[in-house]
Amino acid sequence: MNDPRHTARNLIKQRAITLDRLWIRYWAHGGNAPALEFDAYLHEALVLHPFDLKILTWALEDLGATSR
């Protein structure tokens, strides 16, 4: 997976996952961004710590949203 933000945006657009469900998994893995900031981060309007990309990847994996 290249940038998990692109994957997440596509899945949300296709209604394969919801933003809320993805954010909950992100938060459960230690993400610190509130939901609104997380949405901005997914759309590359906000910069978070680089480790947040890894946390997002874990969240997507938990939801079965990535190909292995």
Q: CA 12 to CA 20: how far, in whole Å?
A: 10
Q: What is the mean pLDDT of the chain?
A: 92
Q: What's the pTM?
A: 0.88
In a domain, 54, yes or no: yes
The answer to whether residue 9 sits within a structural domain is yes
Residue 51, in any domain of the structure: yes
- Rounded to an integer, the average pLDDT of 42-52 is 94
Residue 34 forms part of a structural domain = yes
Q: What is the domain count for the chain?
A: 1
Distance CA(13)–CA(7), nearest Å, equals 10
Q: How far apart are CA 17 and CA 25, in angstroms?
A: 11
* pLDDT value of position 68: 42
Domain that holds residue 47: 4-62
Residue-level pLDDT at 66: 63
Q: Within a domain: residue 39?
A: yes
Confidence at residue 2, expressed as pLDDT on a 0 to 100 scale = 80
Q: Is residue 67 part of a domain?
A: no
For the chain, count helices (H), then strands (E): 4, 0
- CA–CA–CA angle 53, 2, 58 (5° rounding): 40
Q: Has residue 48 been placed in a domain? A: yes
Residue 68 lies in a domain: no
Q: How many CB atoms lie within 10 A of CB 14?
A: 8
